[in-house]
A = this chain, B = another copy of it.
Amino acid sequence: MCELLGMSANVPTDIRFSFAGLARRGGDTGPHSDGWGIAFYEGRGCRTFHDPEPSARSDLARLLRAYPIRSRVVVAHVRRANRGAVSLENTHPFTRELWGRSWSFAHNGQLKGVKKLPLGRFRPIGTTDSEHAFCWILGTIADRWTALPPPRRLDAALPDLFARLADLGVFNVLMSDGRSLYAHCGKRLSAITRRAPFGRATLIDDDLAVDFSAETTPNDVVTVIATRPLTRDEAWADLPIGETLALRDGERH
C-alpha cells in the first residue's frame, strides 16, 4: 500500500502544509518508506520531484517542505513497494506527454494481470503494475482522439477505464492533465474542500497547524484528496468505493 495526495485549486496554492503530513508517513508515522514523488503544475508546465529515499528522511523532501511552489494542481505519492523494485524509475507519479499536455499518474494498490493489457505508443520505463496501467489508459485515449478533447469528454471516458482497472484489484488513483484532477476510489480515498470562511487545521502526523484564513482570499477554493485524512480538526469525507471525481479549479464537475 502507498499513500496518495492530490490538490485542485482555483488559485495557485501552497501545498506545503499537506505535503508535510504526507512526508511524515514515508518512513516515520507510516511504513511507506520506498520512495516518494510529487508533480506540481504551473501553467502548462509540470515540475516533478522523485526520490527513492524515504520522504521522512529525504533531503529533497526537506527542501520541498521549505520551498513555496504555488500550484493549482498537485499529484503526490509515498510508496511502499509491493510490485517492482525500489528504484527511481518505479517512483510515482509517472508522467507522459499526450496532445501537448503533461499527464501525471499516481496509484495505490495491486492489479492482478494488468500487464496483459495491450499497450500502444506509451511504454513503461520501470517495472510496476501502476506504470503499465497508466500507459494503457493514455494509449487508449490517444487512439480515441487525435487532439486534446474538451474536459467533459475526458470526464465521461475515464471512469470506464478506471473501472476496468479496478476489476483487477485495488485501484486508488490520482491522474491529471494539468487542467483536471481525476481521482478514483477503489478502496480508500478521502477529500476535503476548503472555502470561505477559512479556519484553522492541525496535521494528524506532525505537530503543525495552519490558519488558512491568513493565507487565502475569500474566493479561494481548494480541494485536497488523500488516502487518509491529513488533518485532525476538519471534516474529511470518504469517497464512495467505485467513484471517480473530476475536479477543476477546486470544484467537482
Q: Please give the residue numbers on chain A whose beta carbons come within 8 Å of chain B beta carbons, in ascending order.
A: 42-50, 59-60, 63, 67, 87-91, 96-102, 121-126, 142
Q: How many copies does the complex hold?
A: 2
Partner of A122, one of B48, B97, B125: B97
The reply to whether A102 and B121 form a contact with Cβ atoms under 8 Å apart is no
Chosen A-B contacts, 21 in total, with CB atoms closer than 8 Å, are A42-B87, A43-B88, A44-B125, A44-B126, A45-B125, A45-B126, A47-B50, A47-B88, A60-B63, A60-B67, A89-B102, A96-B97, A97-B122, A97-B123, A97-B125, A98-B123, A99-B123, A100-B125, A101-B125, A102-B125, A121-B121
A147 to B91, CA, bound (A): 23
Classify the secondary structure of A's interface with B: mixed
Contacts of A45 in B (CB 8 A): 50, 87-91, 125-126
Contacts of A101 in B (CB 8 A): 125
